[in-house]
Structure 1
Amino acid sequence: MNEKEFLKVINSESNKRGRYTYKTVCELLSTELTTNRINFIGRLFNYFKKVPKSAEEIIDNNFELIFEKVNDDDIILLIKLLLANKTTAEIIKANSRIVLQRIINSSMDDKDEIYKLLHKHYLLEENLEYILQSNIPMEDFFSISDLLKGKNEEIDKNIELFMIKNKEKIAKYFLMKKIYYNKEAFFENYATTLSIRIDELLESEKCKYTDIKEIGYGTYSNTYQIGTKVLKIGENRQVYDIPNHRRLIQPLIRTQLIDKDNGLSVGCIEVEDRVRKLKMRERDKEKLYAIYKELRDSGIIWTDVKFANVGVLLQDNKPSLNGQTINVTPNLVGFDRALDEEEILKEGEWVIIDLDCIYLESDNHDIEYEIDGLGLEFDIRYKNEKEGNVGKTITDIEFDEERDK
């Protein structure tokens, strides 16, 4: 295949969606040399004279066109192909900004994998300044910055300056990542509020923007660590106003995000003290049931009973800011009351860290236990114990009820 034939395929109507670009480059590289009749003087003296032109030269001459025409689904395959060859790898490095811009502007699903591949060949590090000036989407920025943070002071400084300059865009990205709502103005309004809260936490914890870590992806929220605090941002809670209990983590902030145009509660932000996750050897089912029972004895139903929703206190269960404990007004965080001093759990105790599925039993909510949790099993056990049916299964109980009718 010569250059003319190659370009004919790349620019053809059938390749309008870029379906054949990668395949054609593969075919081109499968031939050691290609030829193109470009030597006019040679043809003048010898009609049959041909000047050899390598596949690598054709790719180099048409690099921008190739990446413009390639299908999104084939970009990573194309990059891998070119990086596998010493000569074409150098061509990619020389044209790395074309590659980066193509990826940044695309809507492909496997960007993380591509960025990791480019990082392996130092193409992100070498082009960081260009990347940060390219109107990069926040999702791409975090994929790249997570790979580069900690490499050296200069990189960290540039990333930090970018995050400070774009802190409201970052706040908006955090909101839109988990809250599904179709009003741009809503996110614009709350981005300012959230960025202020993040600044306050960073100042209190003596942290930088580059210290923010995404540490959890829950059903309703994403969780970010800022020093000794965790910031949860997510969907509207099933029930915002809940009964307080000593076994519940005491939040510094827990607020609904309400669309002021229609009064609709759309999302929720929480800030709490960080806890330690349970280790596998600590996952004692009886201890978890004891917590469930303690809540039920207090008239509270916890439906999302999982070890993942429990943590070990790293300090007493009182919210704090700037190293000082804070007395938070209960209704500002959706609680019905403040805890008495003797109810405050000490460091090392287990607490429930997911406050979404907590109900007052007397409110007669339509209770549905999470299918992948222990709530239903514990509910049956609790009722058996209360009714003296210890050891009976739910089938036994249903049979007894039918018999007694």
Structure 2
Amino acid sequence: MAPNGSEADDLRAGRRKAARYVVPVTVVGVAAATIGLVPALAASGDPDLPKITAQQLIEKIAKSDVEQLSGTVKISTDLGLPNLGGLASGLASGAMGGGDGSSADPASKLSELASGTHTLRVAADGEDRQKVSLIESAAEYSLIHNGKDVWGYDSKSNEVFHGTAADSGKKHRDEVPATPKDFADEALKSVDDTTSVKVDGTAQVAGRDAYRLVIEPKHASGTTVGAISIAVDAKTGLPLKFTLTPASGGAAVVDAGFTRIDFAGPAASTFDFTPPKGAKVTEEKDAGTDGGRSAERKAGPGRQFHERDAREKGLEKKGPEIIGKGWNSIAVLDTGTKGGIPSSSGKGELGGFLDSLGDQVSGTFGKGTVFSTRLVNALITDNGKVYVGAVTKDTLVKAANAGK
């Protein structure tokens, strides 16, 4: 199932886009931005449906024209990250391009989906009106796209974030997958001649009959991905549930699925929003008043890491190089800064803390530090190169040793 030219370009573009998030201070931020792959939520029944091939089911997903829906989605994420409390959330926010100083900033708030279990209420009415609400124990956060406006509202802090659809609406929807379809779209970009795709029975999800599409690497050696399972609505072709299990086994890395869904058009008032009285409102354009640093944060850590230094030195920024094939692809970026991650030897408490999060490695490439999750690993070498991918630590070290 090798992709055609256009699909291959989309695949490479998707990997380049993912790679821009993965030049971290630690891999905690990487994880928040690379959730793209999930064990199924509990499903009942095995409905008797007409036979369908994997190719036909993929085409059914591609042709799905669902524009109106409302429902509830449950997402559980287990990347195996250390418990860092508020620091983990802050680093994840940085990786998502957040940091405007508002608790209502979508990039900052939705980065919470990178760990734990969360319940979302979602609604859509065409391309110009969508709403996602993150339900918390004593508060609610909503991201609303209505025409040209994008609003984020945090009821806990009574803060509002406002941007325009051209600037932030599509960007935040792209950067923060929230529904099974978001995850499925990313997973299907990985379908090529290194991939096995099959229909593996049926299921019932949120009261809907569904086919189960299973995507697996043909050759598991080197990759951290075990299998992806997508439950596809038999009638509409809409992905209802998405599951990624790691090659290492155990609990799924991400579990995202509808627990309730309705294909009737939501009421127009669903997408109305007026800032509550007394709320602090932050305009997205206000972020550009700090000497360009916020703009760099919005661009993600791939630019944030050393873009300002590069500009000051007159150096042209180069994007990451993609090496390897299929599931063993690795993004390589030369930061231009020697010394890698500060080590614990004579470089203070920060260096010691970062050392505790990673594993020290060495090879013909020199020395470096590997930061790991159950899905994504990143090697940062002392000569300033970064290797990132959904591959094992040994695979990263071999790539660095090859001098690529």
Report the TM range for the smaller structure's normalisation: under 0.3
Larger-gyration structure (1/2): 1
TM-score with structure 1 setting the length: 0.22
> If each structure's helix is expressed as a fraction of its own residues, which one has the higher value?
1
